[in-house]
Amino acid sequence: MAIKRRLSGGIIHRNKSNGPHFSIVVLVLFSFLVFSILFVGRGLLRSASNDQIDFSTSSSKQDLNWRERLALQHLKPLFSREVMGVIKAYTDDLGPLSLDSFRKNNLSSSWNFVGQEISAGKNTTSAQSKEVAANVKRETSRGKQEDNSHEDHSNFFESPAKLERRKLREKRREKRAADLVKQDDDVIVKLETAAIERSKSVDSAVLGKYSIWRRENENENSDSTVRLMRDQVIMARVYISLARMKNKLDLVHELQNRLKESQRALGEATADSDLHHSAPEKIKAMGQVLSKGREQLYDCKLVTGQLRAMLQSADEQVRSLKKQSTFLSQLAAKTIPNGIHCLSMRLTIEYYLLPPEKRKFPRSENLENPNLYHYALFSDNVLAASVVVSSTIANAKEPGKHVFHLVTDKLNFGAMNMWFLLNPPGKATIHVENVDEFKWLNSSYCPVLRQLESAAMKEYYFKSAHPTTLSAGSSNLKYRNPKYLSMLNHLRFYLPQVYPKLDKILFLDDDIVVQKDLTGLWSVDLHGKVNGAVETCGESFHRFDKYLNFSNPHISSNFDPNACGWAYGMNIFDLKVWKEKDITGIYHKWQNMNEDRVLWKLGTLPPGLMTFYGLTHPLDKSWHVLGLGYSPTVDRSEIENAAVVHYNGNMKPWLELAMTKYRPYWTKYVKSDHPYIRSCKLRIVER
């Protein structure tokens, strides 16, 4: 048998044919059947699907018209009750059956429309098919009018139970839709909350006008006009060069005028909001001149050559500016700001105007008491030293048990004393000494002093033939730092000699800020080591091979190039073990071997790594966080949780080149309301 599907146009079957006459007969019967189904409507289908209705009793339905009765007679032999149930279910949910879904373009190519095929040998069959189709069409249009009159009547056959089920289905749909809307709202609220939390963790204190939070950067193309003007300036320079080559002086003059106007309008702008209001007019005028130049001068090869030459020139300028920037940053980091110099001078004058009996600090009996907490601070910067002391005292649990040993040079001795006489550190004890008064620290005992007196070292530091240009002198400026000439920097290797009666001492640099009580460091078990320090080998450039010359056999045979480095700035030293291990003698040994700077360059960290090799106990990293003087990526949570933060690097917090987002941790301990600080006009950011 053919696999049949019904369509108003004829019989459809898969690649089989039962002959033209049979197709016509089936077409007629099916057309009549479709006609009956369409006009009976949903009410009749519901009646037919009811298990309690017997098709033989259709004569008792007096309210049905003659078409319905005729359809009932033909439906009984054609459809079973199950089929009628399926039809009813579809009509309940989707409405009356439609034949639009069975159109030809919805069927696969394997189905043939037998009743609509036209051939030369089957004219009679085709004519009959058309006539039947026309009759069906007429009856269908007439039946639609009658079906509208019975639509309301069909609702009469729905039982109360079915109506209730329909209402329940509608309620379930509404509830499901409400739940989905609520889920969407919950997701939106969660996303907004997460975005707010992330925004709180973003540091808004970014450097200068390159901040991503500036108003002009709210739009993606906030600098599109600036870039257009810069491109016009570049092309104008190219065409000026080409015009000169071709002796078009009028065009050269016109391009130069427009170039000057565009450069004035552009200025130092980095975003469209910074441009002068005349910028659009300048862009238009420049565009007209560039179009004129393109018509007269454009040659792809010449333009490419000019652009390449300009690119090479720009690269050379960038390299030169980088060298100059390095030189100037090194220079700025090593010089003393005018405000700090002014402060030192004012304090020095006040100190030497005091009578001798008023120059002494109280509680001098605590200076050699080993049961107290002793700090060593060597500095020639009055303001920096004051921040170290004030931040330590502010966070100490028992300030009266803290003793500060300050050592400075002769130039700043009076200023350092006067500052702490005017601003005493509460109940804590403080003592200031002059390094030049340590008579035992001389060239016969100290290798560094002896080397500084040698002709080779003097030539290295003070040779008049040093390069005078910024770019040429930048490479060696780092190693000509004045701190390498100061014994204040090397005094850390002589702690037992400076404080012979102490057992433990905490060494602090002057570019640190204390944020927590540090007394816990005195109870740390160093396991027989001399130095307690925070290791810095999380990064590759903080290992030994980055500080020492491992091509030298003295270095390669005694040290591991991958050994972990550690940081100066906050170190707890066991002076008893120091004396037992003769740490100062080890330092002298290596310093004598480096007279020609063949083991390391200059500084105190390389000899410190060598001297305390195998004698350093690693402390927890939260004690000491570094990098605030050179790295803009130090995590804020690490800074806030650290006991000590260290501004190691060139960007010291008292300099103008300091990173602004780290500066408040330091300035909060500056006495910015002090009359001397105000009178010296120190550019310190307010708290």
Q: Where are the beta strands (DSSP E) in 321-414?
A: 373-378, 402-408
184 against 667, higher pLDDT: 667
Which range is most confident: 108-112, 186-190, 285-289, 524-528?
Answer: 524-528
Q: What is the pLDDT of residues 34-50, one digit of tens each?
A: 555 554 444 444 444 44
Locate all alpha helices (DSSP H) within 79-122, ordered by sequence. Answer: 81-94
Residue 118 has pLDDT above 90, yes or no: no
pLDDT score recorded for residue 78 = 58
Indicate the range of 56-70, 188-202, 646-660 predicted with least confidence. 56-70
If you ran DSSP here, which 8-state letter would residue 512 be given? E
pLDDT score recorded for residue 138 = 53
Q: What is the pLDDT of residues 391-402, one digit of tens each?
A: 999 999 999 999
CB atoms within 10 A of CB 47: 21
Burial 161-192 (b: 16+ CB within 10 A, else e): eeeeeeeeeeeeeeeeeeeeeeeeeeeeeeee
5 against 83, higher pLDDT: 83
Q: What is the pLDDT of residues 535-566, one digit of tens each?
A: 988 654 578 888 888 899 999 999 998 899 99
Edge-to-edge, what's the strand order for the sheet holding 429-434?
429-434, 402-408, 373-378, 504-508, 570-574, 531-533, 616-618
CA atoms of 408 and 417, how far apart (whole Å): 10
Q: Which helix (H) or strand (E) holds 13?
A: strand 10-14
Indicate the range of 95-104, 573-582, 641-650, 661-670 predicted with least confidence. 95-104
CB atoms within 10 A of CB 512: 25
- Whether residue 438 contacts residue 413, with contact meaning beta carbons closer than 8 Å, is answered with no
- Whether residue 56 contacts residue 94, with contact meaning beta carbons closer than 8 Å, is answered with no
460 against 93, higher pLDDT: 460
Residue 572 has pLDDT above 50, yes or no: yes
> Phi and psi at residue 402, in whole multiples of 5°?
-105, 135
- Whether residue 364 contacts residue 431, with contact meaning beta carbons closer than 8 Å, is answered with yes
pLDDT score recorded for residue 483 = 61
Written as one string, the DSSP assignment of 33-60 is HHHHHHHHHHHHHHHHH-TT--GGGGGG
456 against 283, higher pLDDT: 283
If you ran DSSP here, which 8-state letter would residue 431 be given? E
Q: What is the pLDDT of residues 377-422, one digit of tens each?
A: 999 999 999 999 999 999 999 999 999 999 999 999 999 999 999 9
